[in-house]
């Protein structure tokens, strides 16, 4: 019954793609995603969800696995103890779950987390007393999973195209981010949020296929730094003020599209005495308590001036856990400082809520991307200048 539903859904999505005139590409590069990255996993269960699989360990095939076959893997003194429901396979230094028929999916269960479903292949290695778990997944499947995590479920196809292009650009531009650990990217926001297989949103599937292999490139025909955030508050930030990374396509952009969205404005109050102590700690300057403190930003600034000193706004945001660096401050009569903020996130690159609003108004994904990233081009990844070490 479950297999029938899976096949039916795939057939439904395929029919939508064909009706849309979309053709699938042969671009099926697999990337390695370190999953459950922030968890110390000492043991797990994986099971076949669809398709046919082979169980391998130490470069040898151990078994053929079909639907609902369950395997247990536990860390044991630097090795992996592998067991089936009625079979002890032994101890190994690596374990792999490989598709034997294509288009397979599998489930992974670890203690304290809900069961997740993944596409394609699985690799497990010992990591001291814990496990290193790697999903070897086709790029298209990975993009669909990330887009679902990074967006809401009620967006339109044109907006999903934007997210698909940016996700793909980021992934292909960061293939060595976790090379020392034996994989390409992790599944957390340190890279991109990814919790496995898409939960069957046909719009995301269509958008991903419609932009298949398309990435953003700069004037040197190199992948751009595809930065994005939730809401810019009316003006995006210069990357140089956030990461000391100057990029011609990551300069401030006026954005009126996000101003009426849910994260456009926020407020917070802090104690004025604590604030003055903070400024003294950071700069050595003691402000006159009789003079009310105020700070205003008409346009985005990089620093807050304190006498002859300056404090980076990104440091203030971090220390006080503010939603953004785009804020005004004004001391009140009750001994509090009112912070009136705009936007949510680092502010660099594409503003997600602004981009969504643009697509709702009829802008195409190409027009939206050119609004936020100046001087970039949408190109096929095969035409990109690729660093030799990032190619496999």
Segment 42-54 mean pLDDT: 96
pLDDT over 90, % of the chain: 82
Residue 215 domain-assigned? no
d(CA 219, CA 384): 11
Orientation of helix 202-210 relative to helix 139-150, angle to 10°: 130
Instruction: Write phi, then psi, for 248 (nearest 5 degrees).
Output: -65, -25
How many domains are contained in the chain?
2
Residue ranges making up the domain that contains 312: 265-342
Picking from 45, 117, 54, 109, the residue whose alpha carbon sits closest to that of residue 81 is: 45
Q: What is the pLDDT of residue 154?
A: 87
Residue-wise pLDDT tens digits, 319-341 = 999 999 999 999 999 999 999 99
Answer yes or no: is 239 within a domain. no
- Residue of 196, 53, 56, 188 lying closest to 137 (CA atoms): 196
Does 23 have pLDDT greater than 50? no
β-strand partners of 309? 306
Is residue 111 situated within a structural domain? yes
C-alpha–C-alpha distance, residues 187 and 132, integer Å: 13
Q: Does 98 map to a domain?
A: yes
The H or E element spanning position 127 is strand 121-127
pLDDT per position as a tens digit, 168-185? 999 999 998 999 999 999
Q: Which of 90, 110, 128 corresponds to the end of one domain?
A: 128
304 occurs within a structural domain: yes
Q: What is the pTM of this model?
A: 0.86
Residue 199, pLDDT score: 78
Q: Is 378 inside a domain boundary?
A: no
**Residue 65: strand pairing partners:** 53
Residues 6+ apart with CB under 8 A from 216: 165, 166, 169, 223, 224, 226, 369, 373, 376, 377, 378, 379
Q: Is residue 219 part of a domain?
A: no
The span from the CA of 84 to the CA of 92, in Å, is 14
pLDDT tens for each residue of 227-266? 999 999 999 999 999 998 899 999 999 999 999 999 999 9
| Contact status, residue 186 vs residue 133, Cβ threshold 8 Å | no
Phi, psi (degrees; rounded to nearest 5) at 233? 75, 15
In angstroms, the CA 122 to CA 18 distance is 30
Task: Specify whether the CB–CB gap between 191 and 353 falls below 8 A.
Answer: no
The Cα–Cα gap between 238 and 58 comes to 49
Is 286 part of any domain? yes
pLDDT on residue 190: 86
Local confidence band at 28 (pLDDT 50, 70, 90 cut-offs):
low
Contact between residue 165 and residue 215 where contact means Cβ atoms under 8 Å apart: yes
Residue that finishes a domain, picked among 66, 93, 128 = 128
Measured CA to CA, the distance from residue 293 to residue 295 in angstroms comes to 7
Of 95, 128, 161, which residue is a domain's last? 128
């Amino acid at each position: 019954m479950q297999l029938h539903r899976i096949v039916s859904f795939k057939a439904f999505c395929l029919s939508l793609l064909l009706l849309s005139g979309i053709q699938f590409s042969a671009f099926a590069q697999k990337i390695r995603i370190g999953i459950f990255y922030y968890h110390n996993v000492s043991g797990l269960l994986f099971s076949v969800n669809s398709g046919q699989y082979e169980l391998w360990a130490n470069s040898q095939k151990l078994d053929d696995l079909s639907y609902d076959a369950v395997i247990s893997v536990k860390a044991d003194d630097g090795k992996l103890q592998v067991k089936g429901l009625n079979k002890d396979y032994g101890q190994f230094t690596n374990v792999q779950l490989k598709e034997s028929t294509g288009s397979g999916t599998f489930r992974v269960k670890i203690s304290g987390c809900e069961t997740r479903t993944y596409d394609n292949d699985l690799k497990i290695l010992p990591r001291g007393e814990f496990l290193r778990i790697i999903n070897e997944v086709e790029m298209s499947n990975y993009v669909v999973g990330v887009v679902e995590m990074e967006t809401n479920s009620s967006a339109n196809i044109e907006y999903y195209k934007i997210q698909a292009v940016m996700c793909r650009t980021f992934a292909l531009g960061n293939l060595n981010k976790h090379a020392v650990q034996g994989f390409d990217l992790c599944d957390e926001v340190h890279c991109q949020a990814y919790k496995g297989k898409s939960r069957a949103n046909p719009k995301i599937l269509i958008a991903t296929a419609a932009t298949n292999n398309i990435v953003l490139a700069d004037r040197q025909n190199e992948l751009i730094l595809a930065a994005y955030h939730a809401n810019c508050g009316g003006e995006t930030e210069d990357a140089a003020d956030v990461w000391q990374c100057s990029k011609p396509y990551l300069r401030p952009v006026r954005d009126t599209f996000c101003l009426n969205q849910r994260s456009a404005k926020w407020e917070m109050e802090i104690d004025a005495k604590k604030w003055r102590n903070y400024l003294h700690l950071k700069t050595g300057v003691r402000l006159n308590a009789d003079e009310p403190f105020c700070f205003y930003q008409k346009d985005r600034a990089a620093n807050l001036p304190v006498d002859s000193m300056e404090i980076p706004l990104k440091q203030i945001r971090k220390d006080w856990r503010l939603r953004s660096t785009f804020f005004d401050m004004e001391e009140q009569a009750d001994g509090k400082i009112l912070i009136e903020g705009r936007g949510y996130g680092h502010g660099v690159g594409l503003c997600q809520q602004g981009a969504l609003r643009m697509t709702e108004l009829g802008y195409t994904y190409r027009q939206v991307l050119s609004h936020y990233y100046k001087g970039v081009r949408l190109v096929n990844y095969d035409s990109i200048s690729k660093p030799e070490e990032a190619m496999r």
